[in-house]
Structure 1
Amino acid sequence: MRKAHLILVGLLLSFVAKATNDIPRSEYPRPQFERSTWVNLNGTWTYELDSDNTGNKRNLPTSKSLSGTITVPFCPESKLSGVNHTDFIKRIWYQRSLTIPTDWENKKILLHFGAVDYVAEIYLDGRMVGFHYGGSTPFSIDLTQITKPGQTYNLVVAASDNPRSGLQACGKQSLEKSSFACFYTRVTGIWQTVWMEAVSTYGLESAITSPNIDNKQLTITPQFYQISDGQTLEVTLYDGQRKVAQQISQCANGSDLTLPIKKMKLWSPETPHLYGITYRIKDAKGQVIDEVKSYVGMRKVHTANGQFYLNNEPYFQRLVMNQGYYPDGIWTAPTDEALKNDILLGKAAGFNGARLHQKIFEERFHYWADKLGFITWVESPNGGMDPNNEVASRNFLSEWAEILERDRNHPSIITWSPFTLFSRITPTFIRLIFDTQKITKAIDPSRPFNDLTSFHCVTDIWSIMNYESDVTRFALKLKPDKNKAEYTNQPLFIGEFGGLVWETSESAKGTWGHGGMFTNEDDIYECLEKLVDAIQTSGNITGFCYTQLTDIEQEKNGIYNYNREPKLNVERVKSIFEKIPSRPTKKK
């Protein structure tokens, strides 16, 4: 009888595992703030395109089934969505039923969206319950007062997108009907995980982690949904399974808790050590009412004396440009493993990090970068917006603040880089740059700020763009313009170089790339080595970003092709880039 019971349990567990695996992108989407009580809402939804913007007149907010089916969280332009509609989408509607679990009684019920491009409106049983501006950042809707556990509701989402307006940041999404040059297939609507969780009314809303390696301590700054009398926060730090520090305090918003760390282990790309964190909130009777799992990497980044420092030692950044596009998912990785694989591909080619170009990556990417040891620059998808427009500036600042708040606890992120390059610099744009710098430093003063790639107003890093493939001309440009008032001996960084095109298919028609077109593979290695040698002998470069990790659609200057298969001899490429060590060789 017991054997039959075990078989039945095994079959049930197998069924549950299969059901979970059938949900696309089923992993927990917020790896630095993880609770156990949650529901993944990815999968099959109904949808309808609304090109003439008549959805509200046709009462779509109340619709219980739309005209087609789509797989969330993949955008309708992608193959994985099942829609594959690549023309402009001005407005799209989504629908599914939403059942609140019966055991979520007396809990705060939160509906989370990882990202919806660009303006999102959320309806529940025809009633608008929330909205959000910004195509790359998460937002939440509190359903507590309008839902009851055990009941089912009709969830409808409308997303509006107008990349040609100049008022929204859209990155490398093409403003033409088709992709061209370094602009690619567009993204509209839901493109990150939709999920729901139950939280105590007095639960932890957020926690800022501030490592201080000089004083060997970690500071935690908590924020709560509500606070009741006698409520306490218990923070425990773990090294593996071993408890290394603990602090207990009365709950208070913005009140710091400091944990001393003995025999502290530092985080770096070479040794990406992570400490586990458990947050427990207890009521006046000592009962645990909320528990959150997290982690932290103890590390420090700063600039001084024309150098970039990691953990108080000079560190050379060998970055690769990663734009985060996928053939089948566009902005959305097909699997969590694909995010991890992109980091492994970068490391295999000799890079210790990546510049995340013109896109805000899924938070799971940063988790893998933290875990595997891979430094990153975070850059907004500022392409497409008109920075000289006041409304566009207002939209940008709101979204940039949300980006900082989402990602500031990830140790792998070492630089904030909000803008790339714009052809028209006006007083309005310069004001936006200064405002962005102030907001960035207010939210996170611990990291360097890089304003633009090749134009500087207020910056901690002097980055330049140099796509010369002729080594003589390339070497002549490896210096800052010391005549500019903005130059105050900031570290010199090559924000973009390389872009060498090697087309391995039978036809190079439509091929585009930043650098020259090569027809002989050995010539690429020779050119690449000369460029790296010039960087090394210049004596004043503190890092570089090579363009780029993979081909994307018609852009063919990747080390790997769009399907992540090697185009070049990766070991040979690795040996060239690693001629410059991450840390300078210490003299004996």
Structure 2
Amino acid sequence: MKIINQLLLGIASAAVFQLPVNAQFGWQMQPVSIQSRWAKEVSPANALKEYPRPQMVRSTWTNLNGLWDYAITEKDATAPTAYSGQILVPYPIESALSGVKKMLQPSENLWYKKIISKPELKNGERALLQFGAVDWQATVFVNGKEVGSHSGGYQAFTVDITDALKDGQNEVVVKVYDPTSEGVGPHGKQVLNPQNIYYTPSSGIWQTVWLETVPAAYISGLVLTPDIDKGILNITVNAPAGAVVEIKAMDGNTEVGKVKGKAGVALKLPLKNARLWSPENPFLYDLSIKLTKSGDEVKSYFGMRKISIAKDEKGVDRIFLNNKPYFNLGTLDQGFWPDGLYTAPTDEALKFDIEAIKAMGFNTIRKHIKVEPARWYYHADKLGMLVWQDFVNPNQGLPPGAKEAFEKESKETLEQLHNAPSIVTWVLFNEQWGSFDQARLTEWVKKADPSRIVNGHTGEYIFIEGRETKTGKDNWVNSDMTDVHSYPDPMNSPAMPGKARVIGEFGGIGVFIADHQWNTGKGWGYIQVTPSALKGKYTIMAQHLKLLETEGLSGSIYTQPFDVEGEENGLMTYDREVVKIPFEDMRKIHSQLNPNIGNIPQVVAQNADITDPGVKYSALLQQYIDGNRDAAFLRKLTQTAQQVGDKPGAARAGKDYINTLKAPYSDEAMQFIVQFTSSTKDPGFALLQNELSNPASKLNRREVTVKLMNIVFTDVINPDLQQSGGNPDWATIETKVKPYGAPGDEIFLRAKTVYLFNKQDWQQYAPVATAYIEKYGGNLPEQERKMFQDATARGKQ
């Protein structure tokens, strides 16, 4: 029965209830359970207006963020003739800030359209359409003509649209295909199939779009590599062959170095007594690069720093920064937002995360299987934060084409992020997530960028509560470090010659903060403690890190700085409003390993209320006993009861609350009903059944249907399967599910299909699976549908 349960979970509803949005032109942020303080600052007039590429700045640019028309079609459909409404770019279509909040399916294409004016072009100038990132495959059309395409959800790309432009108004259309976990491309922690759900996917344009005009001969890229031992900055300017470039380095208003040479050739810019970059003193030089003939000029910056593995005075291999041992005290930052998902609401919000992490006393961020916008790395460079940059993991099933997509996108990531002084470590693979050819690829990364160190496989061994749960095969071959993951308590990785020892993940202490949760029905951490117990537990972990450091540990990564959706193991809440241990206390805890923070950012957040949640809930329960039946009170009581584990109390209060509701139901009420309905006997179950049969209902029919399917399976089907002794009476089960309508019919066919599939009873399986696929195949993930179809063909042979 285990496999049946797993496959049934594959259609479970997403963590957050969504309501569909009717076609409309204009923009309004959609409902979301919690939001950050910056969401209210977002509007079509000011959506991420900052210049998006701080290391290659031009003055001649136009920001195209704002309202675009959008439409969703079947994957094989032609371009739409009418659009469904407007979407706020660059927020993913699944996000509240997009104004749409709709899940894009693998069988669909997302279309964007915007009318732009042709820029004034003279003397052979070109118009470049720039995209920070589009997830996953983008095809660009101008006035109906295809002008370029790109595959890869995390990398910037440029399309020269000059020849497709006409005088006056021009139509720009972007077609997006994003199958997320059902495709071949790297997708990070966004997974469509909730059997493996991590977080809500982010599809489409999710970073800034802008238009630049450049001369016919222009600078297309820079490669900046510091060498502090020789006192030089190595520079290669990507521009037409033979072009002459002039480069100047400035310290404020003082010129400190210059060089002149040809594009495409490695040039050396000397810096006498260079000021070194570090987290304590993140000094950056300004840089100007100019093509002498065409006049194209860009502004940039760089930092002089060195990262290496070397032996300390005791002969222990450690991470060195600027030729000195430097403990990398880090945290695992995933870069998700309740209102924007992959996209921070504002640039201030983007910066806040790094400021908050530094104010906690960390000096390192492991950017976890996500590539951020260029401005995130700019803020890390300016504020002083070491970055371990993960590559985005391949599709874990490694379907045909996945390896090639991973290598292509990783190469682009290496090139795109090369110039950021904050990035000191590349992380090739996370645990066993789609890893392949580890020895070859680790060596490839080291050769492609010898200026940084490489963590070839973080979490090669994984320990949960002291038990080894997964073993790698190659033992950090060619890597610059050995790395284990250990939850919750830290441990040291093995000592190997020439490699630093690090713990790539540990911690994960779960603490829920009422009224600051993405999903009040559940919260997850490797262990769960009360707010009052967190500081003591965390302090002990930090003290163990110090003990391990004396034994050779060179870096540590705590999971995690912020809650993310249903994971409530952050040091701050998902909305960034509450810090669970005061900043000054965390800095003191960390001071043994990071004594020199430098400038401490001034960040604002509430300190957590450390009153025992059980005590607060008990007070609410007494109010209930005393007769309080106010609807808002009952709602809060239900949520609090579930959070402290009082299931009978949650069921009682939830039933009372739902009985106070009357149609038409508000968005907030519907979210509650869906979240707190868990049995066919709950009043919410019948209410949701009635809503499904109401043509005027605004609820998300598929999501609610799936919710009811899983309940019917748990309450009605699974007990019979468990008691059948391997010979279920499917006719009786079918009769039992009849009262539950379409959800009952679909879950019955699915359960019978999966059961016969697992038994490999192909003769009986074929007609059942055929009926299931014909009736409900459109609801299945593509890979699962193909698996069922292949097995059906086997049964018909």
Give the TM-score range, shorter chain. Answer: 0.7 to 0.9
Query: Residues 489 and 214 from structure 1, CA distance in 2 versus in 1: closer, same or farther, beyond 3 angstroms?
Result: closer
Distance 2:493 2:454 in 1: 20
Question: Who is 2:367 aligned against?
Answer: 356
Distance 2:57 2:446 in 1: 27
Question: Who is 1:292 aligned against?
Answer: 298
Q: Which has the larger radius of gyration?
A: 2
Structure number with higher strand proportion = 1
Query: Residues 66 and 391 from structure 1, CA distance in 2 versus in 1: closer, same or farther, beyond 3 angstroms?
Result: same
Any idea what the Cα deviations from partners look like across 1:8-31, whole Å, max 9, x if unmatched?
A: xxxxxxxxxx99992311111111
Distance 1:196 1:581 in 2: 43
Q: CA deviation at 1:295?
A: 0.3
The question of 1:160 aligning with 2:177 is answered: yes
Question: Who is 2:446 aligned against?
Answer: 441
Query: Residues 104 and 336 from structure 1, CA distance in 2 versus in 1: closer, same or farther, beyond 3 angstroms?
Result: farther
Assess if the C-alpha contact under 8 Å between 2:228 and 2:305 holds in 1. Answer: yes
Aligned residues: 531
Structure number with higher helix proportion = 2
Q: CA deviation at 1:178?
A: 9.3
Task: Extract unaligned runs of 5+ from structure 2.
Answer: 1-40, 312-316, 461-475, 598-797
Q: CA deviation at 1:523?
A: 2.2
The question of 1:479 aligning with 2:489 is answered: no
Q: CA deviation at 1:203?
A: 1.4
Assess if the C-alpha contact under 8 Å between 1:319 and 1:546 holds in 2. Answer: yes
The question of 1:578 aligning with 2:591 is answered: yes
Assess if the C-alpha contact under 8 Å between 2:279 and 2:385 holds in 1. Answer: yes
Question: Who is 1:9 aligned against?
Answer: none
Which amino acid letter does the alignment assign opposite residue 84 of structure 1?
A: K
Which amino acid letter does the alignment assign opposite residue 41 of structure 1?
A: L
The equivalent position to 2:116 in structure 1, one of 98, 104, 116, is: 98
The equivalent position to 1:110 in structure 2, one of 111, 128, 140, is: 128
Assess if the C-alpha contact under 8 Å between 2:129 and 2:161 holds in 1. Answer: yes
Assess if the C-alpha contact under 8 Å between 1:111 and 1:142 holds in 2. Answer: yes
Q: Per the alignment, in what secondary structure is the counterpart of residue 394 of structure 1?
A: helix
Assess if the C-alpha contact under 8 Å between 2:141 and 2:174 holds in 1. Answer: yes
Distance 1:36 1:436 in 2: 39
Any idea what the Cα deviations from partners look like across 1:252-309, whole Å, max 9, x if unmatched?
A: 42x12212112210000000000000011112xxxx6111100000000011231101
Q: CA deviation at 1:541?
A: 0.8
Question: Who is 1:218 aligned against?
Answer: 233
Q: Per the alignment, in what secondary structure is the counterpart of residue 533 of structure 1?
A: helix
Question: Who is 2:791 aligned against?
Answer: none
Distance 2:104 2:127 in 1: 37
Instruction: State TM-score, norm by structure 1.
Output: 0.86
Query: Residues 20 and 164 from structure 1, CA distance in 2 versus in 1: closer, same or farther, beyond 3 angstroms?
Result: closer
Question: Who is 1:55 aligned against?
Answer: 77
Q: Per the alignment, in what secondary structure is the counterpart of residue 269 of structure 2?
A: strand
What are the within-5 Å matches in structure 2 for residues 378-397 of structure 1? 378-382=389-393, 384-386=395-397, 388-397=398-407
Q: Per the alignment, in what secondary structure is the counterpart of residue 32 of structure 1?
A: coil
What are the within-5 Å matches in structure 2 for residues 224-303 of structure 1? 224=239, 226-227=240-241, 231-249=243-261, 251-253=262-264, 255-283=265-293, 289-303=295-309
Instruction: State TM-score, norm by structure 2.
Output: 0.64
Distance 2:595 2:211 in 1: 42
Question: Who is 1:554 aligned against?
Answer: 566
Any idea what the Cα deviations from partners look like across 1:425-464, whole Å, max 9, x if unmatched?
A: xxxx432x33432442333111001112122233111111
Which amino acid letter does the alignment assign opposite residue 370 of structure 2?
A: K
CA RMSD in angstroms comes to: 2.4
Q: CA deviation at 1:479?
A: 3.5
Task: Extract unaligned runs of 5+ from structure 1.
Answer: 1-17
Query: Residues 402 and 479 from structure 1, CA distance in 2 versus in 1: closer, same or farther, beyond 3 angstroms?
Result: closer
Query: Residues 294 and 118 from structure 1, CA distance in 2 versus in 1: closer, same or farther, beyond 3 angstroms?
Result: same
Assess if the C-alpha contact under 8 Å between 1:496 and 1:544 holds in 2. Answer: yes
Which amino acid letter does the alignment assign opposite residue 220 of structure 1?
A: I
Question: Who is 2:376 aligned against?
Answer: 365
Query: Residues 317 and 111 from structure 1, CA distance in 2 versus in 1: closer, same or farther, beyond 3 angstroms?
Result: same
Q: CA deviation at 1:353?
A: 1.9
Any idea what the Cα deviations from partners look like across 1:533-560, whole Å, max 9, x if unmatched?
A: 1121122111111111111111100111
The question of 1:500 aligning with 2:509 is answered: yes
Which amino acid letter does the alignment assign opposite residue 302 of structure 1?
A: S
- Percent identity reads 35
Which amino acid letter does the alignment assign opposite residue 460 of structure 1?
A: D
Assess if the C-alpha contact under 8 Å between 2:92 and 2:204 holds in 1. Answer: yes
The question of 1:74 aligning with 2:91 is answered: yes
Q: Which has the higher contact order (CA 8 A, sep 6+)?
A: 1
Assess if the C-alpha contact under 8 Å between 1:178 and 1:185 holds in 2. Answer: no
Assess if the C-alpha contact under 8 Å between 2:525 and 2:568 holds in 1. Answer: no
Which amino acid letter does the alignment assign opposite residue 293 of structure 1?
A: K
Query: Residues 36 and 423 from structure 1, CA distance in 2 versus in 1: closer, same or farther, beyond 3 angstroms?
Result: closer
Any idea what the Cα deviations from partners look like across 1:114-149, whole Å, max 9, x if unmatched?
A: 11111111111222111111111011111233325x
Deviates more, 1:566-575 or 1:126-135: 566-575
Query: Residues 102 and 494 from structure 1, CA distance in 2 versus in 1: closer, same or farther, beyond 3 angstroms?
Result: same
The question of 1:139 aligning with 2:149 is answered: no
Distance 1:155 1:379 in 2: 33
Q: CA deviation at 1:244?
A: 0.8
Query: Residues 21 and 116 from structure 1, CA distance in 2 versus in 1: closer, same or farther, beyond 3 angstroms?
Result: closer
